[in-house]
Amino acid sequence: MNSRNQKLTLDRLESLFDSYGGDLSRWPERLADEAHTMIGSSSEARRLHVEAQALDRLLARASAPDPAQLDRLAERIMAVATGEGVAKPANAGSAQDASAGARIIPMPVGRHRGASHKPTDRQAAPVSSAERMTRGRWFGGGSWPAAAALAASLAFGVAIGFSDIAPNATYNVASFVQPSSSDADAALSDLQLELWNGLDEERI
Amino acid sequence: MRTALARTGDTVPATNGEVSEDGRLLARLANGDAVAFRLVVDRYLPLVLGVARRMLRDEAEAEDVAQEAILRLWRNATGLELGPGGFKPWLRRVVTNLCIDRVRAARHLSVVEEVPEEIEPARQLDGLVDRDLSKRVDEALRALPDRQRQALTLFHFEGLSQSEVGTTLGISDEAVESLLARGRRSLKAALKEEWRDLLPGSGDAA
Partner-chain residue, chosen from A57, A77, A101, that has the shortest CB–CB distance to B70: A77
Confidence class for position B105, pLDDT limits 50, 70, 90: confident
Q: Which of A114-123, B58-67, B133-142 is predicted with the least confidence, judged by mean pLDDT?
A: A114-123
Q: How far is CA B114 from CA A119, B96, B105, B148, in A?
A: 36, 21, 19, 10
**Cβ–Cβ gap A59/B5 under 8 Å:** yes
**Cβ–Cβ gap B41/A94 under 8 Å:** no
Distance in angstroms (rounded) separating the CA atoms of residues A109 and A114: 12
Most distant CA pair in chain B, distance: 57
Distance in angstroms (rounded) separating the CA atoms of residues A188 and A65: 91
Distance in angstroms (rounded) separating the CA atoms of residues A100 and B80: 10
Partner-chain residue, chosen from A54, A60, A97, that has the shortest CB–CB distance to B7: A60
What CATH class has B114-206? mainly alpha
pLDDT value of position A128: 35
Name the amino acid, one letter, at B85.
G
pLDDT value of position B191: 93
Report pLDDT digits (tens) over B6-21.
Answer: 433 344 455 666 667 8
- On the question of pLDDT at A197 being above 60, the answer is no
Neighbours of B204 (CB within 10 A): 12
Confidence class for position B29, pLDDT limits 50, 70, 90: very high
- On the question of pLDDT at B161 being above 50, the answer is yes
Confidence class for position B120, pLDDT limits 50, 70, 90: very low
Distance in angstroms (rounded) separating the CA atoms of residues A171 and A197: 11
Q: Which residues contact B67 (CB under 8 A, 6 or more apart)?
A: A73, A76, A77, A80, A105, A107
Distance in angstroms (rounded) separating the CA atoms of residues A170 and A198: 14
Partner-chain residue, chosen from B7, B66, B79, that has the shortest CB–CB distance to A73: B66
Q: Which of A62-66, A138-142, B11-15, B183-187 is predicted with the least confidence, judged by mean pLDDT?
A: A138-142
What is chain A's mean pLDDT, rounded?
A: 62
pLDDT value of position A154: 63
- On the question of pLDDT at A199 being above 60, the answer is no
Q: Find the residue in B nearest to A121 (Cα).
A: B75
Q: Which of residues 125-164 of B touch A (CB under 8 A)?
A: 133-135, 137-138, 141, 152, 155-157, 162
> Residue B133's beta-bridge partner residues?
none
Q: What is the three-class DSSP state of B86? A: strand
Q: Find the residue in B nearest to A20 (Cα).
A: B180
Of residues A46 and A178, the one with the higher pLDDT is A46
Residue range B129-137: average pLDDT? 73
Distance in angstroms (rounded) separating the CA atoms of residues A87 and A80: 9
Contact yes or no for A41/A6 (Cβ under 8 A)? no
Confidence class for position B130, pLDDT limits 50, 70, 90: very low
Confidence class for position B47, pLDDT limits 50, 70, 90: very high
Which residue, among B145, B137, B147, has the nearest Cα to B190 in the 3D structure?
B137
Q: What is the three-class DSSP state of A31? A: helix
Partner-chain residue, chosen from B63, B133, B198, that has the shortest CB–CB distance to A54: B198
Q: Which residues contact B181 (CB under 8 A, 6 or more apart)?
A: A15, A18, A19
- On the question of pLDDT at B55 being above 70, the answer is yes
Of residues A22 and B108, the one with the higher pLDDT is A22
Report pLDDT digits (tens) over B71-95.
Answer: 999 999 988 888 888 899 899 999 9
Is the alpha carbon torsion for A16, A20, A24, A26 positive or negative? Answer: negative
A99-103, A161-165, A190-194, B43-47: which is most confident: B43-47
Neighbours of A71 (CB within 10 A): 12
Q: In what helix (H) or strand (E) does residue A152 lie, and over which residues does it extend?
A: helix A144-161
pLDDT value of position B201: 76
Identify all chain B residues contacting A100, using CB atoms and an 8 Å cutoff: 76
Report pLDDT digits (tens) over A157-177.
Answer: 555 555 544 444 433 333 333
What CATH class has B14-109? mainly alpha
Which residue, among B39, B54, B59, B184, would best test binding to A if mutated, counting the most A CBs under 10 Å from its CB?
A: B184
Report pLDDT digits (tens) over A4-39.
Answer: 445 789 999 999 999 999 999 999 988 999 999 999
**Cβ–Cβ gap A93/B79 under 8 Å:** yes
Contact yes or no for B85/B19 (Cβ under 8 A)? yes
Q: How far is CA A123 from CA A114, A118, A128, in A?
A: 20, 9, 15
Q: Which of residues 61-80 of B touch A (CB under 8 A)?
A: 61, 63-64, 66-68, 70-72, 74-80
Partner-chain residue, chosen from A18, A90, A98, that has the shortest CB–CB distance to B185: A18
Distance in angstroms (rounded) separating the CA atoms of residues B105 and A141: 27
Distance in angstroms (rounded) separating the CA atoms of residues B134 and A64: 9
B13 Cβ under 8 Å from any chain A Cβ = no
Delimit the domains of chain B by residue range. Answer: 14-109, 114-206
Instruction: Look at phi and psi of residue A21 and say left if phi exceeds 0, alpha if psi is from -120 to 50, else beta.
Output: left
**Cβ–Cβ gap B46/A64 under 8 Å:** yes
Report pLDDT digits (tens) over B144-158.
Answer: 999 999 999 999 988
Report pLDDT digits (tens) over A84-95.
Answer: 654 454 444 433
How much is the pTM? 0.58
